[in-house]
Structure 1
Amino acid sequence: VPLPVPLDPAGGAARGRTGGPDRPGDGMPGDGTPGDRTAGERTPDDRTSGDHVPGWRRADGWGHLLGDCGGGAWIGRAGLEAAMRAYDGREGGSQPLLDRLEAVFGPAAELPGTLYPRPDRPAVLASFAPEVGRCAAAGDPVAETVLRDAARHIAQAAEAVCPRLESGEVALTGGLFRMGAPLLTPLRAELAARLPGVLVTEAAGDPLDGALRIAAALAAGELRLPPDARLLSVVTT
């Protein structure tokens, strides 16, 4: 699920990142709650000199019911739907995905009663995403289509936060990309078509690495990201 992309002082995207939490607003400036900013909005304490990042652009990350298109829960849900289609005998079903559903969750007919009451439903859905990746790697055309669609959604979000960008970087981060070529190959193709001037690069670290770097910069007064007292703070004891 795409995260906000910081803007450079000229208003272009400085760096893009994909990945993110299951609930909208978790660690995402601009979710509409008090103290946050919407895409591209700037506050009076934003600096515009040097290489300080003055604002954010955001696309998606609205949670599994309203968005998170192409994310783990989205892929898992699409894979489970294809499995249930196979169980019913409907068009668009996948027997390999049905086999994996029953191996992971038990009888297909019992899945709705097990899944719907769960408070951690997004995580349960996302747990099936690797199974979709494995089926795609084994040549299942339905699973391959799910991942191509996911790649398109991720690239659309990157395009939304990097409009008309002539150069820059997009880093892919998060456990979702560990499924490798079945997702990364169509995603790189989509990004190349939509953002031909952007370099797809390796992330500098995982989300924990990023949190530690932000905390160190905050403590030293050297944070280059937009300030946000609710989301970006260091607690000292």
Structure 2
Amino acid sequence: MEQAAGECWVVGVDVGGSGVRVGAALADRPVDPTGTRTVAAAAAARVSASAGGQDARALLDRLLPALDTVVAGLPGGARIGAVAVGATGMALLGRDLAARLPGPLARATGARRLVLAGDAVTAYAGALGTAAGVVVAGGTGLVAIGLRPGGSWCRADGWGQLLGDCGGGAWIGRAGLEAALRAQDGRNGGSPVLLAAAERHYGPVAGLPAALQPRPDRAALLAEFAPAVVAAAEEGCPVAGGLLRRAGEEIA
């Protein structure tokens, strides 16, 4: 049933390492998935070359069109009361996002309230609210966050593709590509199955360093190979199966 015009909506934005999702739901009501308007956008380029961390401009170039699509689909007269953004890397690489997102988001939606948080925090709030517990936010990256009964927070991993995110999509993809390159070299621990999969997906493996190293979105590119690792494990590849077991151990 179409909602009455003039009601207040809340917009949620999920910024991951491989894409952006925007959704809108009526404020002050339990969220009904059938009444939530959502849209997805392409991955935002992730760069960390500056002290400000992630590139807000690259994110806005992808986020604003998706936001416009969601807002345009709301009932006539609907108003946006708040926008909540959960962005990967917000805690450690979010200085540029915090400085440059509020103005454009307010202008695009008319919202007077804006919340910026790490995606682990928004994942926790969505799953458990304010109850004590533990949530693993796993996608391109990976972080675990917990709230103790006494009210104090704790976090594990979420250190990014170079230093951590163990068990996440980019970690699995990178480990699978390493096994592919080991097979190419004839080293122990290699997987011919993953080598063939890598060549199907990326082309000749000799070109992998040049294709991946300069890319600001290389975490997303690495994560693209994770499904190939899963498929290889399902086909009986022992190396791929071992990688997935190790990923499970890291997550646990």
| Shorter-normalised TM range | 0.3 to 0.5
Higher relative CO (Cα under 8 Å, sequence separation at least 6) belongs to 1
| Structure ID, larger Rg | 2
- TM-score by length of structure 2 reads 0.45
Greater strand content: 2
